Amino acid sequence: MEIPDVKYARSGDVAVAYQIYGDGPLDLVFVRALTGDVLSTWDQPLLVRHVEGLASFSRVLMLDKRGTGLSDRVRDVPTLETRMDDVRAVMDAAGSERAMFFSGHEGSRMALLFAATYPERTVALMLLEPWVKGRGTPEYPWAPSEEEWRRRLVEIREGWGRREFFESLLREQAPDVADDESFRQWFVDHMRRSLSPGAAVAFFRMTMDADVTDVLPTVRVPTMILHRTREREAAEYVAERIAGAELVELPGLHGLYTWIEDDVHADAMGAMQRFVAQLGRGPVSDRVLATVLFTDIVGSTERAAEIGDTAWRELLARHHALVRGELARFRGEELDTSGDGFFAAFDGPGRAIECASAIRESVGSLALEIRAGLHTGECERVDGKLGGIAVPTGARIAAIADAGEVLVSSTVKDLVAGSEIAFEDRGEHELKGVGAWHLYAVIDA
């Protein structure tokens, strides 16, 4: 077997390593959970067999997430949003317009977010026991508690890179193969080449904070969820929130790596092939996940009266030019301008926050103050315009923001986990016509 060449896609300033294997009729992006190293995949016969199985019905695109494996090391922790950018860059470099996604566990969050944000580029999702929330809650008790996370992060900080730590991790995650010397050696080498100790701590902190539960109802592509028997409730939690999602139980699945062993692998691959065979070229959804931004000038009426109509029109023109400049810089789409306010949309919440903060700073040069509100939710695109409940929700949030404040919903905050954006809790607010929302003010973007 010839190992496919490693290629690189440019995602902003970052080089993302990827490989292409197979030439099937559909493209499939294989998003591995937790860590990555595309080359060490080919050192593990069980993984090779899995990739070959995927290639029996698809052209497989595998990539190393930024900061891992052969991709560029980065100073900042990669967020779900930047990972989406990297996948799009790989798809573009590989000439892939639309693709299926196969992922599992932590990696499922990015796949789910991608499918909701870019339904026009997503054929379907195949997910192995997806983790959608980092911390356990009464509604989602399957994730580690705060105390368990603190203990785990200490263990990662002190042990990552050491053989005994990785061997202990393997016994915990995949006891069925923990006594296989060749597999154990591969696992230790694979993990060491995936992440440095410092990057591992930052990565798992992001994993702890990320939450895509609000995104699940906005996923409108065919979805199949594979799970072991004892994880049925967690899998059902996800399936019940995605319209039409299919659940497939794998009775022989016991640990993290047993899904690539003989019997389980045959069951999983058979389920995937049946699922893919049923896929049609259905219409692309006109509903997308978007982050909406509303801004307006604080005290505009008083300022206009103070300086007069002519001077106010000139000042407003300068304000509009500054806002449009920042929208262009952060890939925002201007949707409406009414008086002194702007309504814009973004395909990522991090860029939306950075844009709002940049607008706040830039208009300060005009001795103006703005208020801004952001919300991420499902929107319907009709004739180039966005509608849906997410739009008035964003407008209501902006309306109660203080002067100079960028106010966001809890959904926005959850989706930028791992970024350096800092927030201050503003508590729960009842927003007219759209219900109660927990809000946060951006204090450092």
Distance, CA of 373 to CA of 392 (rounded, Å): 11
Domain boundary among 259, 277, 295: 277
Are residues 228 and 101 part of one domain? yes
119-154 pLDDT, tens digit per residue, is 999 999 999 999 999 999 999 999 999 999 999 999
User: What crossing angle do the helices spanning 309-329 and 349-362 adopt, rounded to 10°?
Assistant: 150
Are residues 101 and 79 part of one domain? yes
Are residues 247 and 341 part of one domain? no
Please provide the average confidence, as pLDDT, over all residues in the chain. 91
- Kindly tell me the sign of the dihedral angle through the C-alpha atoms of 67, 72, 73, 77: negative
Residue whose structure tokens are 């966005």:
386
Q: By percentage, how much of the chain surpasses pLDDT 70?
A: 96
What is the predicted pLDDT for the residue at 128? 92
Distance, CA of 255 to CA of 259 (rounded, Å): 8
Q: Among the ranges 78-92, 194-208, 255-269, which has the highest mean pLDDT value?
A: 78-92
What is the predicted pLDDT for the residue at 90? 98
165: tokens are: 């730590």
Are residues 257 and 379 part of one domain? no
What is the predicted pLDDT for the residue at 286? 78
Q: Is residue 14 part of a domain?
A: yes
Domain boundary among 230, 251, 277: 277
Q: Which of 106-115, 378-387, 422-431 has the lowest mean pLDDT?
A: 378-387
What is the predicted pLDDT for the residue at 261? 60
79 and 7 Cβ atoms separated by less than 8 Å = no
Q: Which whole number is the average pLDDT over 381-402?
A: 92
- Which residues are CB-contacts of 225 (< 8 A; sequence separation ≥ 6)? 127, 128, 129, 130, 235, 238, 239, 245, 246, 247, 248
| Region class of 77: left (phi > 0), else alpha (psi between -120 and 50), else beta | beta
Q: What is the domain extent for residue 101?
A: 7-132+212-277
Report the CATH number at residue 82: 3.40.50.1820
Q: Which of 15-19, 262-266, 280-284, 403-407 has the lowest mean pLDDT?
A: 280-284
Q: Is residue 206 part of a domain?
A: no
Q: Which of 98-112, 175-189, 293-307, 422-436 has the lowest mean pLDDT?
A: 175-189
- What is the DSSP annotation of 392-407? HHHHHHHHHPPTT-EE
Give the pLDDT band (50/70/90) at residue 77.
confident
Give the pLDDT band (50/70/90) at residue 268.
confident
| Region class of 228: left (phi > 0), else alpha (psi between -120 and 50), else beta | beta
184 and 167 Cβ atoms separated by less than 8 Å = yes
What is the predicted pLDDT for the residue at 267? 85
Q: Is residue 306 part of a domain?
A: yes
Q: Is residue 202 part of a domain?
A: no
298-355 pLDDT, tens digit per residue, is 999 999 999 999 999 999 999 999 999 999 999 999 999 988 999 999 999 999 999 9
Residue 87 phi/psi, 5-degree rounding, is: -65, -45
Residue whose structure tokens are 């923001």:
401
Are residues 235 and 384 part of one domain? no
What is the predicted pLDDT for the residue at 302? 93
Torsion of CA 49, 50, 56, 59, to 10 degrees: -120
Q: Looking at the predicted structure, is the pLDDT value of residue 285 above 70?
A: no
Domain boundary among 247, 277, 307: 277
Are residues 367 and 299 part of one domain? yes
Distance, CA of 69 to CA of 199 (rounded, Å): 12
Distance, CA of 361 to CA of 356 (rounded, Å): 9
Angle at 207 between CA 49 and CA 255, to 5 degrees: 40
Q: Is residue 171 part of a domain?
A: no
Q: Is residue 231 part of a domain?
A: yes
Find how far residue 9's CA is from the centre of its chain.
Answer: 19
**212, containing H or E segment:** none
Are residues 318 and 264 part of one domain? no
User: What crossing angle do the helices spanning 80-93 and 349-362 adopt, rounded to 10°?
Assistant: 110
Are residues 388 and 255 part of one domain? no
What is the predicted pLDDT for the residue at 254? 61
Report the CATH number at residue 361: 3.30.70.1230
Q: Is residue 226 part of a domain?
A: yes
Give the pLDDT band (50/70/90) at residue 36.
low
Are residues 428 and 301 part of one domain? yes
Are residues 308 and 347 part of one domain? yes
Burial readout 83-106 (b: 16 or more C-beta within 10 A, e: otherwise):
bbbbbbbbbebbebebbbbbbbbb
Distances in Å between the alpha carbon of 405 and those of 87, 400, 439? 33, 10, 12
Q: Is residue 315 part of a domain?
A: yes
Are residues 297 and 221 part of one domain? no
Give the number of domains in the chain.
Answer: 2
Give the pLDDT band (50/70/90) at residue 102.
very high
Are residues 422 and 309 part of one domain? yes
